[in-house]
Amino acid sequence: MQKSNTYVYDPYLAIYMKFEDYNFNPKVKKALAQMGFKRPTDIQYKSIPNVLNGEDLLAVAQTGTGKTGAFAIPIIDLIYRKKANQRRPTGVIGLVLVPTHELAEQICEAFDAIARFTPVKTVALIGGVEQDPQIEKLNEGVDIVIATPGRMFDLISQGHLQTHHIEILVLDEADHMLDLGFIQDIRDLMRKLPKRRQTLFFSATINDKIKKIAYSLVKQNAIRIQLSPKDPVAKNIDHAVLFVDMDHKRFFLERVARENPDTKVLVFVRTKVRAERVVKAMERVGIPALALHGDKGQKERSEVLDQFKSGNTNMLVATDVAARGIDIPDVEIVINYDLPEEPENYVHRVGRTGRAKKKGNAYSFCAEEERATLSEIQGFLDKEIKVLEVDEFEYSDTLNIERDRKNDYRALMEEIEAFENRKKKRKKK
């Protein structure tokens, strides 16, 4: 197989470039200015000219480096210019495929913001909500679709989404979609698309297996861009591991919350039940928290994210449904309450803080039974994670935070049982 062209990170290339220097339409430039976009990030600087030139692209860059803008900005400009020269609408021109509902909605918001002064229209097609409003928007006419695979294929099979005019296909967080088993779906989709199209493959992490699949999806002369491959965690994220007993994690989480009362804290746990359990534990000690996981309906998940983004609640406890691509402003602290089972997800989790050029902190609570998982994560990073040392007095003092309270374990078990019963009732419906 012919090797693709590869661009290697050079920290000095984009330092003097500004968005106003690009040959974008003035309406696109106006939107970028209103959004506060002055200079392109490194991935944007490397990607935008290639996207504008119609090149296929395989781009790997750290999370939080502006990958959405790297394809959204040039795509909006290209489609706006195309529409200006069209006598009649041709239907959907751009398709962005993503693994999660939240990411689809977030990317759709980004496209809408960049296109606000143009006639370019975008719609998000996601499952878990009624399809009729989405069908209505398609019928009214849209230029760009951002979709999750399930809902997209439903609407294609029903004849509501036409694919024969699509010229640009973006696979965002592509490694995750392929890990989830969507490779055959993606190949089926490509058979429905025009052969003369542009394919853009974006991801924060990539392994040899995914790389091989990626090369089969893009043209052989695709441009490859890889930024900071030696350390997948951004330099502006200070991340460390803290060794604590499994039963003591909630005390340390409470301590983090109390020492940072006005700070957004995103907490990652292993399971849905665990998310609800940690929320209840925080609420019992007077710390408001919300849970986000796959058992919640799409409407409720959106409401939870909105409350956290707006700052109405400063702690969100989530499963890995929130680990990929979600851009929540001003998350200063990420806590790995449970270590992720997939080493790649460590990078995606901690990448929810330190977005763009902001500083962020990420702490992992590692119990004795999780040390093997920690070793796998460090093997993936190819470096050891800094250990946050806690002396015996400080550790004991953290546990004594509970001394004036009564530990009601019976109530805790009843809460877990009630949660399980609600799940069973929803499944029966």
Q: How confident is the model at residue 9 (pLDDT cuts 50, 70, 90)?
A: very low
**Residue written as token pair 């506060």:** 36
Cβ atoms of 296 and 304 closer than 8 Å: yes
Q: What pLDDT is attached to residue 402?
A: 60
- By DSSP bridging, strand 315-318 and strand 290-292 are parallel
Q: What pLDDT is attached to residue 217?
A: 80
Q: Is the pLDDT of residue 271 over 60?
A: yes
* pLDDT digits 0-9 by tens, 327-356: 787 899 999 999 998 888 898 899 888 876
Q: Is the pLDDT of residue 18 over 70?
A: yes
Cβ atoms of 285 and 367 closer than 8 Å: no
Q: What pLDDT is attached to residue 323?
A: 65
CATH topology of domain 237-428: Rossmann fold (3.40.50)
Give the pair of three-digit tokens for residue 332: 């200063």
Higher pLDDT, 4 or 240: 240
Q: Which of 45-49, 228-232, 411-415, 423-427 has the lowest mean pLDDT?
A: 411-415
Domain ranges, ordered by start, for the chain: 5-226, 237-428
**Which residues contact residue 61 at a Cβ distance below 8 angstroms, ignoring those fewer than 6 apart?**
42, 43, 67, 70, 202, 204, 225, 226, 227, 228
Q: Is the pLDDT of residue 267 over 80?
A: yes
Rounded CA-CA distance 205/226 in Å is 10
For domain 5-226, which CATH number applies: 3.40.50.300, 3.90.76.10, 3.40.720.10, 3.90.550.10?
3.40.50.300
- Is pTM beyond 0.75 here? no
Q: Is the pLDDT of residue 391 over 70?
A: yes
Q: How confident is the model at residue 407 (pLDDT cuts 50, 70, 90)?
A: very low
Rounded CA-CA distance 93/144 in Å is 6
Q: What pLDDT is attached to residue 4?
A: 39
CA distances from 417 to 180, 219, 327 (A): 30, 52, 33
Give me the sheet containing 360-366, strands edge to edge.
290-292, 315-318, 264-268, 331-336, 360-366, 237-243, 386-387
* pLDDT digits 0-9 by tens, 307-316: 998 889 999 9
Asked if the domains 5-226 and 237-428 are classified in one and the same CATH topology, the answer is: yes
Rounded CA-CA distance 110/389 in Å is 41
Amino acid at 381: L
* pLDDT digits 0-9 by tens, 112-164: 999 999 999 999 999 888 999 999 999 999 999 999 988 999 999 999 999 99
Q: What pLDDT is attached to residue 28?
A: 96
Q: How many CA atoms lie within 13 A of 406 on its CB side?
A: 3
Q: Is the pLDDT of residue 411 over 80?
A: no
Amino acid at 197: R
Rounded CA-CA distance 56/222 in Å is 5
Q: What stretch of H or E contains 378?
A: helix 371-381
- Supply the DSSP symbol for 210: H
Q: Is the pLDDT of residue 405 over 70?
A: no
Q: Is the pLDDT of residue 417 over 80?
A: no
Nearest to 54 by CA among 221, 211, 203: 221
In angstroms, how far is the first alpha carbon of the chain from the final one? 51
Average pLDDT, the chain: 85
Q: What pLDDT is attached to residue 171?
A: 92
Q: What pLDDT is attached to residue 209?
A: 75
**Which residues contact residue 213 at a Cβ distance below 8 angstroms, ignoring those fewer than 6 apart?**
178, 183
* pLDDT digits 0-9 by tens, 242-266: 999 999 999 999 999 999 989 999 9
Q: Is the pLDDT of residue 10 over 80?
A: no
Q: What pLDDT is attached to residue 155?
A: 94
Burial call 300-334: b when 16+ CB within 10 Å, e when fewer: ebbebbeebbeeeebbbbbbbbbbbbbbbeebbbb
Rounded CA-CA distance 110/363 in Å is 29
Q: Is the pLDDT of residue 202 over 60?
A: yes
CA distances from 255 to 134, 260, 313 (A): 44, 8, 17
Length in residues, the chain = 429
Nearest to 286 by CA among 311, 306, 308, 315: 315
